[in-house]
Amino acid sequence: MSVTAAQGFRAAGVAAGLKPSGRPDVALVVNDGPDAAAAGVFTRNRVQAAPVLWTRQVLTDGRLRAVVLNSGGANACTGPAGFADTHATAEHVATALGVGAGEVAVCSTGLIGVRLPMDQLLPGVTRAAAELSATGGGLAAEAIRTTDTVSKQAVRTSSGGGVVTVGGMGKGAAMLAPSLATMLVVVTTDAVADAATLDRVLREACRTTFERVDSDGCLSTNDTVLLLASGASGQSLPEAELTELVTAVCDDLAGQMLGDAEGSTKTISITVTGAASEPDALEVGRAIARNNLLKCALYGKDPNWGRVLAAIGTTAAAFEPDQLDVSMNGVQVCRAGAPGESRDLVDLSGREISIVADLHAGDAELTVRTNDLTDGYVYENSAYST
C-alpha cells in the first residue's frame, strides 16, 4: 500500500513508454487533504537536476497537492530546455487534477544528460491521473524502479487510540548523500501536522537513516525525499512520536535499498564506538564504508581487518593508532592496533556482516550501513548506461 496506506491519498503507476522495456515508468501521488502540508530533503550535489530545482522552489511555501515521478530519464544536465520540460510536466498534472502547478512536485530518475520524451511522458501523466486509486500505492512503487529488482514499500501505524498511519515508497540502492544511484522517496501520513513540523521530522528521520547508508560513495544529481501530510485522520501526534514513525518507515526503506543494492551479496553494518563526537564517528564510518579494497575483501568473505585500519587512518577523527580495536561478526580481530583473536574464527558466509570499530576517544557512537563491491556491481554499471 505504501503511499496510499494513510488516509487522504491516491496514487497510480503506468507505462508511458519512457523505458525501452515497456515497464511502468510514471507514478503519480495525490494528497486529497484536507491538509496539503509537505516538506522535502534534497541531494547536496551542486549539479542538480531540473526536477530538483523545480521541487525545491515549489516547496518553499510548505504545500504540495501532488507528486509526479518518472523513471527512464533523470532530466539532469539538460539546460533551460530540461527545466521547461519539468515545468510543463507540473502544469500538465495541475490541469489534470485542478490544482496549481506550484503545488506539484516532480521527481525524475534515469540517465543524465538526455531530454525526456515529452510526447510520451505527458500522455502517461494523463493516464496516471485517470487511474488514481486509494489502493494504487503498489503500482506507483513499481513505476519508479530503475535497476531495483523489487519495489520498496513500508508502512507504520501509531499505537495510540486514534490511529495515524505513515507509509512510504522508495527507489534506489542508494542514500541521500552520497548514493549508488538516484534515491527517490515519497512518504505520506494522515496525521495533522504543519509544514514546519514536517520539515523538522523529515530532516531528523533522514539524518539517522538515509544519511547513514553509503552504498558506493557516489552522490546523485536527483536524490529527493518528500513527506506529505493530509490531516485526514484528524489526529495530531507529539512531534517525537511522529518522528519515530517517519524514521521507522525511512529506516525500513533504507534497509530494503541496501538489500537490493546493485550486484551486492553482503549487507554490512559499521558501528563506530568510542568516538570523541558524532561527526568523528560519522567520518570514520563513511571512510570504512567507502573503502573499495575492504568492500572487495568482504565480497570474498575475507576478514581483512587491516583495510579497516587503513581506512580509519585516512580520517581526521580523534584517535591513537595503537588504541584501535576492530571486531568482525563478534570476533575481536584487532586489539590496540595490533592482531587480536585469529581471523580464522570470523565467519563471513552469511549476507549480514557487522564491523565494530572502537576509537577509544570518547562516548559517541553510530552505525553506517553499506554493501560489498562485486563483479555484479561492475557489470550493472558498465554493461549499459544508467
Number of residues that bind its own copies (CB under 8 A): 70
What gap in Å lies between CA 352 and CA 265, rounded to an integer? Answer: 9
- Told to check if 88 binds its own copies by CB under 8 A, we report no
DSSP 8-state code for residue 340: -
Any known ligand binding at 381?
yes
Segment near its own copies (CB under 8 A); pick from 9-17, 153-161, 243-251, 308-316:
308-316
273 is in an annotated binding site: no
- Alpha-carbon span 39 to 56, nearest angstrom: 9
CA neighbor of 73 nearest in space, from 3, 123, 20, 28: 20
Interacting residue with its own copies among 310, 323, 354, 365 (CB under 8 A): 310
Residues 42-61 that bind its own copies (CB under 8 A): 44-48
- Does the protein bind its own copies through residue 93 (CB under 8 A)? no
- Answer yes or no: is 131 a known binding residue: no
Is there binding between residue 150 and its own copies (CB under 8 A)? no
Based on the shown chain and the rule CB under 8 A, indicate whether residue 148 belongs to the binding site for its own copies: no
Judge if the upstream peptide bond of residue 51 is cis by omega within 30 degrees of 0. no
Q: Would you say 61 or 320 has its CB closer to its own copies?
A: 320
Please report how close the Cβ of residue 44 comes to its own copies at its closest, in angstroms. Answer: 8
The candidate with the shortest Cα–Cα distance to 144, out of 176, 87, 182, 103, is 182
Please give the Cα distance from 114 to 318 (Å, whole number): 45
Contact status, residue 223 vs residue 179, Cβ threshold 8 Å: yes
Q: Choose which of 193, 246, 299, 358 interacts with its own copies (CB under 8 A).
A: 299
Cα distances (angstroms) measured from residue 129 to each of 14, 36, 142, 279: 10, 18, 16, 44
| CA distances in angstroms from 244 to 180, 211, 301, listed in the order given | 26, 16, 35
In sequence order, the β-bridge partners of residue 31 are 9
CB of 39 to its own copies, least distance (A): 23
Q: Is 263 helix (H, G, I), strand (E, B) or coil?
A: coil
What is the contact mask toward its own copies in residues 357 to 386, using x (rule: CB under 8 A)? ----------------xxx-xxxxxxxxxx
**Amino acid in position 100:** G
Shortest gap between Cβ of 373 and its own copies (angstroms)?
Answer: 6
**Residue of 84, 150, 196, 293 that binds its own copies (CB under 8 A):** 293
- Residues in touch with its own copies (CB under 8 A): 44-48, 74, 76-79, 81-82, 111-115, 178, 180-181, 216-221, 290-293, 296-297, 299-300, 302, 304-307, 309-315, 319, 321-322, 324, 333-334, 336-339, 343, 373-375, 377-386
